[in-house]
């Protein structure tokens, strides 16, 4: 059964003289099926920038998955020519700026650490926060026509949010110039240095995401969740610690398999 959980009003938009305004649309569509939770960014007039209400809606849904997961896959996609060209910057004082940046960090944290296997379907340009969001998913799939970029330095802002994890995906020698100079790079370059999983023709992107999700859903749900959890845990520990944790993880996993055979 499918159901839309949020219907957010479009942000105010004043068209240029001589152009009619488009009808109001959902800024983010959150759709749940039995196994897949889908976030569709729908703010094309503003490059699919993430607004405060969009952040809040997605955060609320991810938090609801934490205590007792219902879905198995998180799919993030967008309408229009852009995937996501950044985020709205509405704050102007210390307290509100801190709250604003804390919110964006929390969304990335929840996407990365959620037990849902996440897939980003990047059909168009991904800049700044948009590219950073794609990177923290488990499988960023990018159309070969997309342009990618970290433009923050051109505005005098060091992209600390992205730099906090960029080095875990790409070697510093490759990653640092991308954030320092903020120049556009291609999906092919991003794949070569480890930032994304797949590059494919734009016309094939949705089908490629469908196929990947179908593969994920064929896996045992509990085993898939344990696999992601241990993979993330192992990245932040020493080899010695991981060996000890592996004993416990393999023991628990084996007992789960044995219980399933009874």
- Report d(CA 227, CA 25) in Å as an integer: 38
Question: Which domain CATH number covers 17?
Answer: 3.90.226.10
Same domain, 161 and 239: no
Quickly count: other Cβ atoms within 10 Å of residue 261's Cβ.
5
Same domain, 204 and 227: no
What are the tokens at 208?
């490629």
Q: Which of 88, 99, 106 is nearest to 28 (CA)?
A: 88
pLDDT at 18: 32
Same domain, 163 and 212: yes
pLDDT at 261: 75
pLDDT at 249: 82
Same domain, 127 and 172: yes
Identify the bridge partners of residue 37 per DSSP, sorted by sequence position.
32, 74
Name the DSSP class of 44.
G
Same domain, 121 and 45: yes
Per the structure, the complete domain to which residue 88 belongs is given by 3-217
Same domain, 130 and 247: no
Same domain, 15 and 116: yes
pLDDT at 242: 81
Same domain, 237 and 191: no
Same domain, 10 and 60: yes
Number of structural domains found in the chain: 2
Q: What pTM was computed for the model?
A: 0.85
Percent share of the chain, pLDDT over 90: 72
3-state secondary structure of 82: strand
Same domain, 128 and 246: no
Same domain, 120 and 82: yes
Percent share of the chain, pLDDT over 70: 90
Same domain, 199 and 237: no
Q: Which of 206, 179, 175 is nearest to 190 (CA)?
A: 175
Residues (pLDDT < 70) of the chain are 1-25, 262
- Report d(CA 175, CA 129) in Å as an integer: 16
- Report d(CA 18, CA 11) in Å as an integer: 20
* Helices 94-113 and 52-65, packing angle to 10 deg: 40
């Amino acid at each position: 059964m499918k159901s839309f959980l949020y219907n957010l009003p479009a942000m105010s938009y004043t068209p240029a003289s001589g152009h009619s305004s488009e009808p109001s649309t959902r800024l983010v569509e959150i759709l749940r099926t039995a196994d897949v939770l889908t976030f569709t960014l729908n703010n094309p007039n503003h490059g699919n920038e993430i607004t405060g209400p969009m952040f809040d809606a997605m955060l609320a849904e991810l938090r609801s998955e934490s205590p007792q997961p219902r879905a198995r896959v998180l799919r993030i996609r967008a309408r229009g020519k852009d995937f996501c060209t950044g985020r709205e910057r509405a704050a102007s004082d210390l307290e509100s700026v801190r709250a604003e940046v804390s919110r964006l960090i929390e969304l990335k944290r929840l996407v990365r650490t959620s037990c849902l296997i996440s897939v980003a379907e990047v059909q168009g340009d991904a800049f700044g926060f948009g590219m950073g969001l794609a990177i923290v998913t488990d499988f960023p799939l990018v159309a070969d026509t997309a342009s990618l970029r970290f433009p923050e330095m051109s505005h005098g802002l060091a992209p600390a949010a992205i730099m906090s994890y960029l080095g875990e995906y790409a070697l510093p020698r490759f990653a640092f110039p991308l954030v320092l100079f903020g120049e556009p790079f291609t999906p092919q370059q991003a794949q070569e240095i480890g930032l994304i999983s797949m590059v494919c023709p734009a016309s094939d992107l949705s089908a490629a995401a469908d196929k990947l999700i179908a593969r994920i859903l064929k896996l045992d749900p509990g085993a898939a969740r344990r696999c992601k959890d241990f993979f993330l845990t192992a990245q932040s520990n020493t080899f010695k610690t991981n060996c000890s944790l592996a004993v416990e993880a393999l023991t628990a996993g084996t007992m789960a398999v044995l219980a399933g055979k009874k």
